A and B are shown apart, each in its own frame.
Chain A
Amino acid sequence: MKTAARKLRSLKSGVAADKPWHLRLYVMDETPKSLAAFMNLKRVCESRLKGHYRIKVIDLLKHPKLAKGDQILAIPTVVRMLPIPMRTVIGNLSDIDNVLVGLDLKAGD
């Protein structure tokens, strides 16, 4: 009951403002595509989740083993670890609207 109420509130407020956001960005080396994805993600987070987000960049070139765990296929890929449920957006994140939908940040706009 309590969680449902909170969920409703967070939807109304647009973002889960009071919750920490953990994001993982999987890239492959420092390619322009990877850099662009990071810049785009950073921009979205700064505008929407300022102060309570964390982006962890994983370079699969250095840690190929980690690709299996989060079911990574495409590069670049952003995985929303928290809040649950997990969500995945692939691409260089140049289409901001799609990023907002993919990460479920669009609600309340």
Chain B
Amino acid sequence: MKKRASKSMMPGRSLPKCPTGIQGLDEITSGGLPRGRPTLVCGGAGCGKTLMAAEFLVRGAVQYGEPGVMMAFEETEAELEANVASLGFDLSGLVRRKKIVFDYVHIEPGEIHESGEYDLEGLFVRLNYAIDSIGAKRVVLDTLEALFAGLKNEAVLRAELRRLFRWLKAKGVTAIITAERGREQLTRHGLEEYVSDCVILLDHRVNDQIATRHLRVVKYRGSAHGTNEFPFLIGDEGISVLPITSLALNHKVSSERIATGIPRLDAMLGGRGFFRGSSILLTGTPGTGKTIVAANFAQAACLRGERVLFFSFEESPNQIIRNVHSIGLRLEPLVNSGLLRFHSARPSLYGLEMHLATMFKEISVFKPAVVVMDPITSLIDAGTPSEGKGMVTRLIDYLKAGQVTSLFTSLTQGGHSLDQSEAAMSSLMDAWLLLQDYEGNGERNRVLYVLKARGMAHSNQIREFLISNRGIDLVDAYIGPSGVLTGSARAAQSAREKAEALASQQEAGRRKRELVRTRMALERQITSLRSEHDAGAEELRQIDEQVGTQTRLLSTERTELGRLRQADASVVARTSVASRNGRKH
């Protein structure tokens, strides 16, 4: 007791685990099954018990170098081999290379006659021999309950099973015991009574015509484990369990920004676009250009040399390529160069879990820097709302863990109220763009808002969203007295303003010309006045000259007369002046 308590105090020295190698299961059980102990895997028919057990053995032999023993009570070696071959497991090869020993225990109900006491030492001998022959570390008993059909003496059988599990523990092998699901208990014959270390319950149920398998760790003595029901898949690479809650919120965060491919949109987002590794939601009513924005985003990433994975749930790749080509986006060379990859699947093709697993696989293989989901809503509609949100959460967690930038387009029904699924989804998103139809003036025009952009300054203005054959453009929308003006109203407003500007320009020109004309007239006046003035001055000069000449002539005459009369010189001079004055007036 004391020892156990001290053990639980030291998490570092916890229970040794045996990794199953099954995708996701080791995550839920924090490391795998309890090493050296038996684990009970129970479930109804066709839920994958045998497959899980077989994968445990095969992965043990291939990945962890632990040989294993398969003791099958229901399937022969050939049958099981054929069944697991579809998952890519080469069972017969492993048997040949002595990595796995297969022992088929044939029990035909009613064929064995009982007489007196017996025990199951024969089974022990066979198991012991098989384990020792290859030094097995793992054992699968599938399905032990077949013994109950073959042997009548249940008291002996139960005692022997109890002994078998003790023996397996003593042998130190990690074992999986499969059992059929019972009506009121975990297993039909109450095997959980004997295997108490770890119990895993598998379940297969149909919801809305889509079947999903679930796994739950009912019990795991001495270890923490995820207690929820986890969906799991049987794909072409074996089982994968998809844990929802085991992912913690501790992603690395990048402050690098990436451009959207639409310069004006980048400008709205603080001038530099989105954060790398962020999740972006792009909602819009039908026909608002969601796919085009997504394609633009994809192209921009490809032109930066990044890989882009484009999941399309409504259109085929060729259709998208053709459609966006009409606006000048050429995606085909990007596809050919291997930077862009499309993955198209109808949402109703298979269940949500299968979609998710396929997407995870594609992402892990292609390792994209940007992932586009177009549209995520049609995928969510394939499941129940809670499943849908769970799926998006897991998807975002998965993408963020790998620093993959993701763009989800989402189709809304229009109007201002948002779908519930949308509101729920938006809380998971880092940025949210809204594309909307703006109706008015007998036309519909597209507008774009940035509803939120975590961690960056962003424009809260509406932009008109124009799609032309040259691509996307964002234009400032006019805010008029009757609201936002878009489309022809915006154009009309623009034209009106242009006309006004032109008119005022013309008016200014006219006034300028007028002034010039006035000035020129004045100048002309000045010139004529000046010439008049000049003419006056000339006349004056001429008069002066004339007078001078006359005076001179007169005086010459007087002098001449005086000389002739022999008058006094001074008297002559004075009279000549007086006579000139009198003549003038």
Interface residues in chain A, defined as those with a beta carbon under 8 Å from any beta carbon in chain B: 26, 28, 33, 36-37, 40, 60-61, 64-65, 67-68, 71-77, 87-96, 98-99, 101-102
Contact assessment for A94 and B125 in the assembled complex, using a CB-CB cutoff below 8 Å: no
- Chain B residues with CB under 8 Å of A94's CB are 115-117
Chain B residue with the shortest CB-CB distance to A32: B117
Is residue B148 contacting chain A, with contact meaning CB distance below 8 A? no
- Chain B residues with CB under 8 Å of A77's CB are 118, 122
Bits for B106-150, please: 1 = Cβ < 8 Å to A, else 0: 110001111111111111011011000000000000000001001
In whole angstroms, what is the CA distance A91 to B150 when docked? 14
Bits for B353-381, please: 1 = Cβ < 8 Å to A, else 0: 00000000000000000000000000000
Chain B residue with the shortest CB-CB distance to A75: B121
Is residue B81 contacting chain A, with contact meaning CB distance below 8 A? no
- Chain B residues with CB under 8 Å of A40's CB are 116
Is residue B151 contacting chain A, with contact meaning CB distance below 8 A? yes
Interface centre among B106, B126, B147, B150 (most CB of A within 10 A): B126
**How many inter-chain contacts with C-beta < 8 Å in the A-B complex?**
99
User: For chain B, what secondary structure do more than half of its interface residues adopt (helix, strand, loop), or is it mixed?
Assistant: mixed
- Chain A residues with CB under 8 Å of B123's CB are 73-74
A73 and B107 contact, Cβ closer than 8 Å, known pairs A33-B117, A94-B116: yes
- Chain A residues with CB under 8 Å of B266's CB are none
In the complex, 5 of the A-B residue pairs with CB atoms within 8 angstroms, ordered by the A residue number, are: A72-B122, A73-B105, A75-B119, A90-B115, A98-B113
Is residue B103 contacting chain A, with contact meaning CB distance below 8 A? yes
Contact assessment for B129 and A88 in the assembled complex, using a CB-CB cutoff below 8 Å: no
- Chain B residues with CB under 8 Å of A61's CB are 125
- Chain B residues with CB under 8 Å of A93's CB are 115-116
Interface residues in chain B, defined as those with a beta carbon under 8 Å from any beta carbon in chain A: 103, 105-107, 111-123, 125-126, 128-129, 147, 150-151
Chain B residue with the shortest CB-CB distance to A27: B121
Contact assessment for A91 and B115 in the assembled complex, using a CB-CB cutoff below 8 Å: yes
Contact assessment for A68 and B103 in the assembled complex, using a CB-CB cutoff below 8 Å: yes
- Chain A residues with CB under 8 Å of B116's CB are 36-37, 40, 91-95, 98
- Chain B residues with CB under 8 Å of A26's CB are 122
Closest-CB distance, A108 to chain B (whole angstroms): 18
- Chain A residues with CB under 8 Å of B115's CB are 89-96, 98-99, 102
Contact assessment for A64 and B113 in the assembled complex, using a CB-CB cutoff below 8 Å: no
Q: Which of A72, A87, A91, A101 contacts B117 (CB 8 A)?
A: A91
In whole angstroms, what is the CA distance A60 to B122 when docked? 8
Chain B residue with the shortest CB-CB distance to A93: B115
Contact assessment for B118 and A67 in the assembled complex, using a CB-CB cutoff below 8 Å: no
- Chain B residues with CB under 8 Å of A72's CB are 122, 125-126
In whole angstroms, what is the CA distance A101 to B111 when docked? 11
A91 and B118 contact, Cβ closer than 8 Å, known pairs A98-B113, A102-B113: yes
Contact assessment for A74 and B118 in the assembled complex, using a CB-CB cutoff below 8 Å: yes
